Every structure is written in structure tokens, then in C-alpha cells.
Amino acid sequence: MSLPPLLAALQEEIEAHARAYGLDFFRVIFEVLDYRKLNQVAAYGGFPTRYPHWRWGMDYEQLQKGYTFGLQRIYELVINNDPCYAYLLECNADVDQKIVMAHVYAHCDFFKNNVWFSRTNRKMIDEMANHATRVRRYMDRHGADTVENFIDTCLSLENLTDPHSLFIVRERPARSREEEPRPAVRRLKSKEYMRDYINPPDYIAREEKRLREDAEKRKTFPEEPSRDVLKFLIEHSPLENWQRDILSIIREEAYYFAPQAQTKIMNEGWATYWHSKIMTEKCLTDAEVVDYADHHSGTVAVHRGRLNPYKLGVELFRDIEDRWNRGRFGKEYDECENLAERTAWDRKLGLGREKIFEARRFCNDVTFIDNYLTEEFCRRHKMFVYDFNPKTGLYQITSRSFREVKQKLLFHLTNRGLPFVEVADGNHRNKGELLLRHRYEGVPLRQDYARDTLRNAQKIWQRPVNLATVVEDKPRIISFTGESFEEIEVGDQVA
């Protein structure tokens, strides 16, 4: 469906502005939808064709309610795809549509150029449709409930992926097996003429065979702990073919969405930076100024002390631009201790624009914050760390120190704020059990969820599964045999 003429004209205008600023994007196709259809697409994670599952229905219900009660509305939705699809809400005012279009072009530029998106499938719309077809076929063949239950099980493990693995090409030399001496069969001491009698050759042969088999069994796999638990399960669990296929569908979709979670602050910051630039410098008519200001301030508002990724992102990009324009970086600037000199520091380098384009190409949220969050920025934006205070049962501000703010922020962004859980052993205790290891970084797992997740892992592995983690500061192994849970304390070697 083509756009109404007014919107088509706007699109042309805004696209030209975006291009003039140096943004580089895929072709963007806008579609105008009413709120029900927009909510549907949003519930499907942006894709109009998705495999059937109840959780889309759950999200849809929430979106519908939010819209009906006037609590929330989705202005814009954009898909990382080539061509890039973006959706507009039918009932929005023209000025809103303009903002959204400008916003979308910047997102699209980010998708196309940010290195973390470079491995994503740019024909994902088609791919998702294929996934849906496959899942529907399995449902026809094996029953909708069976398939749905299996999908639930898989989704429980969906975050056990390694977003970096797409970039790692490992070429391991086959490890030489001869490094450790194989234990030899013990022979009893004997005189030469008694040898065959005391150490019968067939017994020796049998023993040798047994030792060889043991050594074979003891060989652990994976050879190194792997964070791509899903891949390991796909390759090594005793699944039926349709189950394996569904698991790999879930994994593929998880990998597709991962970079969006990894670059939330940057992506939204970038889009906000550009919509405000394009609107205020080029597109805005006098009559629209107030509505624009209202919309924009809503986008970057800070509610009850919560960090807003749009706000943090756009302010950081502006800060970077300003610093590199004025040369406020590097050894000389960092070591300057004269406050007056520092405040007035301006080398007139004009490198700002170039720098932010560089950041948008190479950073994800972690490196973005790590490289560009400065103490001054932190103070100017009144950032703080809060923690749960068990004495009062309340969340309270604990610190405003730059070091702690940055550390906490990075902690929440690293691995998308999720715990690191990896496959340590697929033949644990030499009984074909699965050992997952939680890399403990000071924050324990949520226990009830951990157990339920373990239950699901067992459904896939079909042998007992174990999770090495830390509970109440003590290293423990939680096991689920398929029937019951067991929790044992272990020595330090596991933690």
C-alpha cells in the first residue's frame, strides 16, 4: 500500500535532509497502520509474520490495554531489514509523522553501519515467514500443544547465546592426544618363563581395551566451556528432527535480536539526535514548534529517577560532539587541573561530527559507555547508584561517585545485564549429565527462575542437568534429575 501523497512528500523531503547530513541507509518503506494493526506488529517484535505463540497474544493484550486507557502508544516501529520497513500510526499528527520519519532514517543508518549489526540477516522478514511456515507444519504434524510446549521450553533458554561468537573464527589445531601418558596395564613381576602364565595375554589385552575405552569416555566435551549453550544443545541433545529445527529457529531469532539489545542506548540516542537535528534545523514549520517540543520532551523525559536510554544516548552523543569539536580530550586535557582553563578549553578542532559517526560505527553500549562516559557528564546529569536496602526494604541511593556509577552501568550492560551461563561439561560425572556453570560476579541468580529454567534444560538434554552457581556466598551445584532437585555445597574448585 503506498503512502498518502502528503506523507510521501514528507518522506521525500526528510530522506533528502538525512542524506545531506551524511546518513547512509537502506531503502525505507513506510506503512501506515491503525493502532490495532500497529499493536499486532509490535507484539510480533516488528514482524508481521511470526510463528504462532501465546506470548505475542500476551504482549498484544498489554499494548491494547495501554492504548485504550491512554497510557501508552507506539509512535514508530522499524525493522532491521533490507529494505527497511517502518510503521506509522495512522492517527498521529503530521508533525509526529515527521519526527518519526526522521527518527527512523537514523535507526536505519545505525542498522546498516554499526558493526554489531553486520552479521544480522538483512532478509529477516522472509526468514521469519519461513520460520512460521515450518512451525505451523510441525504443529499440523505433531499437534499444536506439543509444539507449543516445546517452544516454551526452548524460549526458557533463549538468552543462553554468545553474541560475540558470530565474530569469532576459531581454527583450533586438533589437540594431540599423546600429551598425557596413557596409563599402562599393570603387570605382575614374573620370571621370563612364567610371564604368560602370571600375566595372561588375553587378560592384558582386555585390560588395555578397558583403559582405552575409559580414556575415551573421560574426554570432556565441549573442550572449552561454551557460552553458546543453545548451539551445544542443538548439536548434542537427543532431540527429534522437528525439535532440533525449532530450537535452531529460536536460536537464530535470538541472534537476530541480540544486537538491538546490545545497542539500545546508542541506537535510540542516535535516532533522537538526528530527529532533533533534522526537525529543528530543517523541517519544522512555525506552527509545529510547540507540538514538536512536547513530543520531543516526552521522548527524553526522566521518570522517577530512572535512566532513559533515549536521553542518556542523545546527551552522550552531543557531549562527544562538543568535546571533539573543542578538543576536550586526550592527555593534555585530562591532566589539566586548572578549572578555569578546563572550562574555557577550546581548540576549535571541529572533529565532533566525524567522531560521533565513528562511535556509531564501532561501539556497542558497553564500549560506548566505557569510552565516552566522563566524570563531568556524570555530574552534570546527576547520575547515581541505587541499591536495595534490606534493612528498610526500600531502594535507596547509595552513591554518586563516578567510578561506582560507571561500574554499575557497565555491569548492567555487559551481556545485556544477564548472567553468564556456559556449558562446562556435557558428560558430567562421566554419566552423560549436563553441567552448566554460572560465572558468578557478585550477584546471585534468581532462584525460583533458575530452577524452572533448569527444569526446561533437562527436558531438552533428557539426562540430569546441573548448575554450578553461588547461593548465599557459597558455591553450590543445583541438580535436576528429571524428577527432583538436589542442592549440594561444593569446594572452591567449581566456583
Partner 1 sequence: MILRIEQDHHRFKQIIRGKIKQDLRKYISRGELIGRRGKDLISIPLPQISIPHFVHGTRQAGGVGQGDGEPGTVLGAAEPEDGSGQAGDAPGRHILEVEISLDELAEMLGEELELPRIQPRGKKNIVSEKARYHGITHSGPEGLRHFRRTYKEMLKRSIANGTYRRSSPGPFIINEDKRYRTWRTTILPETTAAVIYMMDVSGSMGEEQKEIVRIESFWIDTWLRHHYRGLEIRYVIHDAEAREVDQETFYHTRESGGTVISSAYRLALEITRTDYPAGEWNVYCFHFSDGDNWSQGDTQECVRLLREDLLPGANLFCYGQVESPYGTGQFLVDLKEAFADEERVALSKIENKEAIQQSIQEFMGRGR
Near partner 1 in 302-331, by CB under 8 A: 302, 304-307, 309, 312
Burial group, residue 414, by CB count within 10 angstroms (0-12, 13-18, 19+): middle
Could you say which residues in the range 451-490 bind partner 1, by CB under 8 A?
452-453, 456
What is the C-alpha to C-alpha distance for residues 76 and 104, in angstroms, rounded to an integer? Answer: 8
Work out how close the CB of 326 gets to partner 1 at its nearest, in angstroms, rounded to a whole number: 24
What is the C-alpha to C-alpha distance for residues 437 and 226, in angstroms, rounded to an integer? Answer: 10
**Could you say which of 449, 481, 486, 487 contacts partner 1 (CB under 8 A)?**
449
Cell numbers of 397, please? Answer: 541511593
**Could you say which of 176, 392, 484, 493 contacts partner 1 (CB under 8 A)?**
392
Could you say which residues in the range 29-48 bind partner 1, by CB under 8 A?
36-37, 39-40, 43-44, 48
Choose one: 21-29, 203-211, 299-307, 342-350; the region binding partner 1 (CB under 8 A). 299-307
Please name the residues in contact with 73: beta carbons below 8 A apart, sequence gap of 6 or more.
35, 66, 67, 89
Q: Does 491 bind partner 1 (CB under 8 A)?
A: no
Beta strand 420-428 pairing with 433-439:
antiparallel
Could you say which residues in the range 132-161 bind partner 1, by CB under 8 A?
148, 152, 155-160
**Could you say which of 213, 387, 486, 489 contacts partner 1 (CB under 8 A)?**
387
Contact 259, 364 (CB under 8 A): yes
* CB count in 10 Å sphere of residue 303: 7
**Could you say which of 167, 203, 395, 485 contacts partner 1 (CB under 8 A)?**
395
- Nearest to partner 1 of 148, 370 (CB atom): 148
Contact 35, 92 (CB under 8 A): no
What is the C-alpha to C-alpha distance for residues 81 and 217, in angstroms, rounded to an integer? Answer: 46
**Could you say which of 112, 236, 277, 381 contacts partner 1 (CB under 8 A)?**
381
Q: Does 445 bind partner 1 (CB under 8 A)?
A: yes
Concatenate the DSSP letters of all residues of 195-239 into one string: HHHHS-HHHHHHHHHHHHHHHHHH--SSSS-BS-HHHHHHHHS--
- Nearest to partner 1 of 40, 267 (CB atom): 40
Q: Does 446 bind partner 1 (CB under 8 A)?
A: yes
Work out how close the CB of 335 gets to partner 1 at its nearest, in angstroms, rounded to a whole number: 28
Work out how close the CB of 160 gets to partner 1 at its nearest, in angstroms, rounded to a whole number: 7
Identify the CA nearest to 135 among candidates 125, 122, 146, 124. 146
**Could you say which of 45, 225, 327, 419 contacts partner 1 (CB under 8 A)?**
419
